[in-house]
Amino acid sequence: GDSVTQMEGPVTLSEEAFLTINCTYTATGYPSLFWYVQYPGEGLQLLLKATKADDKGSNKGFEATYRKETTSFHLEKGSVQVSDSAVYFCALSLNTGGFKTIFGAGTRLFVKA
Amino acid sequence: DAGITQSPRHKVTETGTPVTLRCHQTENHRYMYWYRQDPGHGLRLIHYSYGVKDTDKGEVSDGYSVSRSKTEDFLLTLESATSSQTSVYFCAISDRTSGEADTQYFGPGTRLTVL
């Protein structure tokens, strides 16, 4: 079935370090891919998205590229800040009739000053 | 920020009691969803609605029912709460358009504890 797998956390980094959070997916059809972020005590909010192969989504210094050949959508940021500490969720949405959005289990990121 | 509120934000109840959670939106979005969030499981869909009085089940619908009598309100009811329903519940909305990415907008969540 359709699924999203992302790396387990927590991930702990020092400020200004490079971040990668891996995400791979399995889907029938051609999904749109998303990264959502959840700050403590809040709901999820969209961080970035990509709708087709080779698209790059970017926002707030984060970016991810839709790789169809490796079924991946890895999240990267060149220099993390303490304020980036949050839980990050990879998700896919299938637009081929009916409803289906599937979320990964989430990866908690801690950034130390 | 999308106008989505959830009430109550926190609730403690006892096993066997009925509980209703409310989601209210001011965006006039057609689609509304209820998810539960549990450690290690990410978000799992309970029920969703694609219009007034139009609802359908998600992957973890057992023990839950929903109603949507107005565009802006989506209610989640636990008919007889159990300890396994202790969780954080999120409402989400989207203005899903065929052929476009289905971005979802989330409410702040309701933390429910069933003793």
Residues of B in contact with A89 (CB under 8 A): 42-43
Contact call for residues B35 and B43 (beta carbons, < 8 A): yes
- Residue A82 sits at the chain B interface (C-beta within 8 Å): no
Q: How far apart are CA B33 and CA B29, in angstroms?
A: 11
Q: Give the A:B interface size as CB pairs under 8 Å.
A: 54
What pLDDT is attached to residue B101?
A: 66
Q: Residues B50-63: pLDDT tens digits?
A: 889 999 999 899 99
Q: How many residues does chain B have?
A: 115
Smallest CA–CA distance, residue A8 to chain B, in Å, is 9
SS3 (DSSP) at B8 = coil
Confidence band, pLDDT 50/70/90 cuts, at residue A61 = very high
Q: How far apart are CA B57 and CA B46, in angstroms?
A: 6
What pLDDT is attached to residue A97?
A: 53
Q: Residues B64-105: pLDDT tens digits?
A: 999 999 999 999 999 999 999 999 999 999 887 655 668 899
Q: Residues A84-98: pLDDT tens digits?
A: 999 999 999 986 555
Contact call for residues A80 and A74 (beta carbons, < 8 A): no
Smallest CA–CA distance, residue A91 to chain B, in Å, is 10
Contact call for residues A109 and A86 (beta carbons, < 8 A): yes
